[in-house]
């Protein structure tokens, strides 16, 4: 049975939002040679232009799209004129177009480019086999070794010669499933199996021959399948006629062969007694140009032929289900098998954990690391239950490390985190969880920042199915899940990491000093290499597609953007962002990462962590920016830490606090703020609570002056950081209730102890300091839930007094007043307000339920404005303002005058 499939080749552009340009393929046909590293796809014929070529409207749309791109658009909008930086942006834009053209020479579009995980690594093939593909251009030989073949480097290898790998260095290994004893191989070479369903029609016991016979009986018209049954009949008769024993024996006897028209007339004369239907499918050439396929037929046959579909249903009926496969075959690579990839290189043989491995054991009780083939049976594979939550207008992010999230000094699992920590986060009122350290890394003490396996969740916390369950449950609670992604550098490990992966020093990374981080001992990616780009961009898409991740914080962009890794003095001059120390390839990678992520997943959120605040971080890529949704204000946390450790309380500068926390006013709504994140709590650092409160287990928990100071400042710092910044706020788990001790991961310096690698949730049972701070943080989150504080846009900071140490600002109908003075309390402090009316206190840090002194009485919670010009405003409030306290007022009634 022959089946002919015809489909037009048409490249559909990705649908993007207004901030990102559309991707169109070049207006020329592409020819895809057979390469193991690329997908099968239809290509347009060189003689028949694609539809896209024949539609000027698409070309016009592409041209219009290009016109919408302004490489220096955000500079023009902001009125910035800097010749060197403008030239740099224009050259970067041209280089990006050339890079995309280079990509389009090998890939259909950017979606195809960012989906390398669909082909690379280990995959089940429907023809009862497993296919493995790996990129190792410097290798001479490739094989798979593992417990499935007794670690033999010769049993399962790529084919010899050129067919073992393509021109780009992608190796291809086929692992055929094994027939069970007494079973015979399938008659059909292309026999497919359905591994998802337990069984299907293929398990009914009907043979392929019976299905084909039924197709002949039910599908083909009488006589239509005659050629299929005897396809060589005409050829054999002609051969017999010309070269058989009764045929001509010499060239003279052969004579001249009549022309086609003469032979056709003789044919019609020979069959003149046949009915007209016999000549229904005659092919006539009337002499017209391009008329060689003028088939003479009747309207009824033509209509019947057009309605007919290829008999695919009969072919699909030959597919067998998992049940049939299990009865006949055993997998060449069973679920849970341990394996590595074996290379022979100019430097000798070596073994590596595959770069695209999705489950890895980095250190199995001192044994060598290995990948684990993760292919659970359908009944065990995780089935998603919940959809992505709707993206909120403001982000309240709870930063977590799964391993240290438990109460006991041990490594906490994904399941324990799901069961115990997620409900606590929901109770606190956060709407997003940011996880770091969940991508596989060999050394636990690095907290997950020396990643070894980009596509694998850390096996020390559980399985891929456990991680999916965690994310699914978080979505069910309405929590977004972000990953702290580390693409700015990579671990320098060789067997488990990517360093010297194929025996060469420049497979994934730069050579020389550029390939080494200046201080951290990690490797730096070669962002200008197309195959490295595919690995990294596909990795981002992988976490979203496979694990339903909602967003990424890109860790330490300064390390990748600059050849000095960000370890330089910055004055803020634009020349520092376009000089010889800037890696243009890294910037182009970030642009493509944002364009692809936002194109494929419109609701994705990307956050930039860059200590140098590279210009245009959150500007649209179509306007010369990098395309991030948020950027992290790293200066805020550094300022608070400096104040707490080095500046006396009465010397705190209110102007510096406001200036630092507000950051860049032009990008205020794109700013993510935190008072402290995990950096202040891990690897020898101290949390703010440890600085402010000391070791409370060695002190009395009575309301001493020392503890009162610590509790008060702890609340003030968090409230002003939470409410004065942009639309996003972050807190590291446990810091909200004043966790008394820092975090230390097990390392040689502490004899690999887990004593400080946990969170003391049991302290919340003590209904004093810890529970009070917990309650305050909870009500602070509820404040944003009720009043939409973070999403109200720009605020009006109208009162900043360094002498009184008072700060006041308004955000919509909300008035925030802070008194940072260590000793001075004010009975009738006056601040301006924008509207005349009655103002009601909705949050007071000094309430006893928050560990405060409760100085203000309930009668003082409602204040009426006074018509008096203060702070350049026509009206004002007279409020009681105890030292080290803050109040949040809401305009409850407007007074018309």
**What distance in Å separates the CA atoms of residue 537 and residue 608, rounded to the nearest whole number?**
16
SS3 state of residue 894: strand
Please give the Cα distance from 259 to 850 (Å, whole number): 104
| Best CA proximity match to 509, nearest among 363, 341, 355, 339 | 355
- Contact of 394 with 360, CB cutoff 8 Å: no
| 644 backbone dihedrals φ, ψ, rounded to 5° | -65, -35
Beta carbons of 70 and 623 less than 8 angstroms apart: yes
Helix (H) or strand (E) run with residue 606 in it: strand 605-608
N-to-C CA span, the chain: 90
| CA separation for the pair 79, 542 (Å, rounded) | 39
Give one word for 462, left, alpha or beta, with left for phi > 0 and alpha for psi -120 to 50: left
DSSP string, 717-749: HHHHHHHHS-SEEEEETTGGGT-SS-B----GG
Beta carbons within 10 angstroms of residue 580's beta carbon: 5
DSSP characters for 692-708? Answer: HH--GGGS--S--HHHH
| Cα 644 to Cα 637: distance, rounded to the nearest angstrom | 11
Q: What does the alpha-carbon distance between residue 848 and residue 859 come to, in Å, rounded to a whole number?
A: 16
User: Exposed, middle or buried, 594 (CB in 10 Å: 0-12/13-18/19+)?
Assistant: buried
3-state secondary structure of 453: strand
Query: Distance between CA atoms of 865 and 875, rounded to whole angstroms?
Result: 6
Which are the contacts of 546, defined by CB distance < 8 A and separation ≥ 6? Answer: 117, 358
CB 608 within 8 A of CB 632: yes
**Helix, strand, coil tally for the chain in percent (to 5):** 35, 20, 45
CA-to-CA separations, 585 to 174, 393, 532, in angstroms, rounded: 35, 33, 11
> Phi first, then psi: what are they for 21, rounded to 5°?
-70, 155
Q: Copy the structure tokens of residue 279.
A: 């000549």
Q: Give the CA distances from residue 83 to residues 72, 73, 572, 576, 583, in Å, rounded to whole numbers and listed in that order.
A: 11, 14, 16, 13, 19
CB–CB of 523/508 below 8 Å? yes
Which of 351, 399, 609, 744 does the annotation list as catalytic?
A: 609
Q: Calculate the alpha carbon distances from 542 to 120, 450, 597, 730 in Å.
A: 12, 19, 11, 25
Question: Dihedral of the CA atoms 744, 747, 748, 751 (nearest 10)?
Answer: 70
Tell me the two tokens of residue 810: 């308004």
Q: Encoding tokens for residue 516?
A: 């080494």
Number of CB atoms found within 10 A of residue 245's CB: 6
HEC readout, 365-428: CCCCCEEECCCCCCCCCCCCCCCCCCCCCCEEEEEECHHHCCCCCCCCCHHHHHHHHHHHHHHH
Our separate counts of H helices and E strands in the chain read 23, 33
Catalytic: 317? no
By annotation, the residues acting in catalysis are: 609
């Amino acid at each position: 049975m022959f089946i002919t499939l015809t489909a037009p080749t048409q490249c559909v552009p990705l649908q993007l939002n207004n901030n990102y340009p559309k991707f169109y393929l070049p207006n020329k046909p592409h020819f895809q040679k057979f390469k193991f590293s690329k997908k099968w796809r239809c290509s347009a014929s060189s003689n028949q232009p694609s539809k896209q070529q024949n539609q000027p409207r698409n070309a016009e749309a592409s041209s219009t799209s290009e016109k919408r791109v302004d490489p220096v658009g955000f500079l023009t909008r902001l009125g910035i004129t800097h010749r060197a930086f403008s030239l740099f942006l224009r050259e970067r834009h041209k280089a990006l177009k050339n890079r995309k053209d280079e990509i389009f020479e090998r890939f259909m579009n950017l979606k195809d480019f960012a989906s390398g995980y669909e082909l690379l690594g280990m995959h089940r093939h429907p023809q009862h086999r497993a296919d493995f593909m790996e990129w190792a251009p410097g290798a001479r030989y490739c094989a798979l070794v593992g417990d499935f073949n007794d670690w033999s480097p010769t049993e399962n290898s790529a084919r010899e010669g050129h067919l073992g790998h393509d021109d780009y260095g992608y190796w291809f290994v086929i692992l055929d499933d094994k027939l069970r004893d007494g079973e015979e191989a399938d008659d059909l070479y292309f026999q497919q199996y359905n591994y998802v369903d337990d069984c299907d029609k293929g398990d009914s016991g009907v043979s392929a021959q019976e299905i084909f016979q039924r197709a002949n009986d039910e599908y083909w018209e009488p006589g239509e399948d005659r050629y299929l049954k005897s396809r060589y009949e005409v050829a054999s008769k002609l051969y017999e006629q010309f070269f058989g024993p009764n045929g001509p024996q010499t060239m003279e006897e052969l004579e001249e062969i009549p022309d086609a028209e003469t032979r056709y007339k003789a044919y019609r004369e020979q069959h003149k007694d046949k009915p007209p239907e016999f000549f229904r499918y005659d092919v006539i050439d009337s002499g017209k140009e391009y008329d060689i396929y003028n088939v003479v037929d009747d309207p009824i046959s033509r209509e019947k032929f057009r309605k007919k579909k290829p008999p695919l249903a009969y072919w699909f009926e030959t597919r067998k289900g998992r049940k049939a496969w299990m009865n006949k075959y055993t997998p060449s690579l069973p679920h849970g098998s341990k394996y590595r990839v074996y290379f022979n290189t100019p430097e000798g043989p070596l073994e590596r954990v595959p770069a695209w491995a999705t489950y890895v054991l980095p250190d199995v009780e001192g044994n060598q690391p290995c990948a684990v083939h993760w292919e659970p049976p359908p009944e065990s594979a995780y089935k998603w239950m919940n959809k992505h939550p709707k993206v909120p207008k403001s982000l309240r992010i709870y930063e977590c490390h799964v391993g240290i999230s438990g109460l006991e000094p041990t490594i906490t699992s994904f399941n324990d985190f799901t069961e115990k920590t997620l409900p606590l986060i929901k109770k606190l009122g956060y709407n997003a969880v940011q996880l770091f350290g969940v991508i596989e890394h060999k050394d636990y003490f690095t907290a997950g920042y020396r990643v070894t396996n980009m596509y694998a969740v850390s096996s020390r916390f559980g399985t891929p199915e456990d991680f999916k369950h965690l994310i699914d449950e978080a979505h069910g609670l309405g929590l977004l899940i972000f990953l702290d992604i580390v693409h700015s550098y990579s671990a320098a490990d060789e067997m488990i990491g990517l360093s010297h992966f194929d025996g060469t020093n420049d497979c994934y990374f730069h050579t020389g000093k550029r390939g080494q981080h200046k201080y951290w001992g990690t490797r730096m990616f070669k962002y200008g290499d197309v195959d490295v780009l595919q690995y990294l961009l596909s990795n981002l898409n992988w976490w979203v597609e496979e694990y339903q991740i909602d967003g990424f914080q890109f860790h330490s962009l300064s390390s990748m953007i600059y050849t000095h890794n960000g370890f330089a003095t910055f004055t803020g001059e634009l020349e520092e962002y376009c000089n010889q120390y800037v890696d243009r390839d890294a910037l182009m990678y970030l642009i493509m990462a944002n364009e692809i992520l936002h194109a494929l997943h419109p609701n994705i959120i990307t956050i930039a962590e860059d200590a140098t605040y590279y210009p245009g971080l959150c500007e649209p890529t179509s306007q010369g920016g990098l395309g991030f949704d948020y950027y992290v204000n790293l200066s805020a946390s550094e300022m608070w830490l400096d104040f707490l450790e080095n500046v006396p309380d009465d010397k705190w500068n209110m102007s510096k606090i406001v200036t630092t926390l507000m950051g860049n006013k032009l990008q205020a709504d794109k700013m993510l703020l935190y008072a402290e994140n995990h950096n202040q709590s891990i690897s020898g650092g101290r949390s703010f609570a440890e600085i402010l409160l000391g070791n409370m287990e060695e002190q009395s928990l009575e309301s001493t002056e020392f503890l009162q100071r610590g509790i008060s400042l702890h609340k003030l710092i968090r409230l002003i950081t939470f409410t004065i910044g942009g639309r996003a706020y972050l807190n590291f788990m446990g810091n909200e209730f004043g966790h008394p001790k820092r975090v230390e991961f097990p390392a040689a310096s502490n004899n690999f102890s887990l004593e400080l690698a946990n969170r003391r949730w049991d302290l919340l049972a003590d209904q004093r300091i810890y529970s009070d701070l917990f309650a305050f943080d909870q009500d602070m989150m509820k404040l944003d839930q009720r009043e939409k504080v973070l999403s109200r846009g720009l605020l009006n900071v109208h009162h900043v007094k360094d002498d009184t140490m008072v700060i006041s600002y308004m955000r919509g109908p909300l008035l925030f007043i802070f008194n940072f003075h260590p000793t001075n309390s004010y009975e009738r402090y006056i601040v301006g307000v924008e509207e005349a009316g009655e103002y009601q206190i909705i949050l007071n840090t000094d309430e006893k339920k928050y560990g405060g002194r409760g100085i203000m009485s309930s009668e003082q919670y409602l204040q009426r404005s006074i018509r008096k010009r203060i702070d350049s405003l026509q009206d004002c409030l007279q409020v009681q303002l105890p030292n080290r306290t803050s109040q949040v007022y809401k305009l409850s009634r407007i007074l018309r005058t």
